Amino acid sequence: MANFIRNTQVKAMTSIWTAKQKARELAGRTKEALANREGQGTLDVAITVLISIVLGALILAGLYLIVDSTVLPTITQRIKDMFDYAG
């Protein structure tokens, strides 16, 4: 019984020590990340996002022009022909 209690205490102490150590490591990494003011890569990401937005807008505008000038008139003509019961 004494061994069981001693083993349980050792396991509890080990778990507590491990948790404290992980918390210290996390705090240290967080402190380093917050203290880092280099801004490395920030400009690259901003330029990439801007280029993506501009290219996406150009592609969307091109698709809109194609659909507006080619597809919609054909669809409206087909719908009118489909409902034309005169002939």
DSSP string, 30-65: HHHHHH----TTHHHHHHHHHHHHHHHHHHHHHHHH
Amino acid at 55: L
Distance (Å, whole) CA 19 – CA 43: 38
The pTM for the full model equals 0.42
Tens of pLDDT along 5-38?
899 999 999 999 999 999 999 999 999 988 887 7
Least confident of 23-32, 36-45, 57-66, 75-84: 36-45
Distance (Å, whole) CA 18 – CA 30: 18
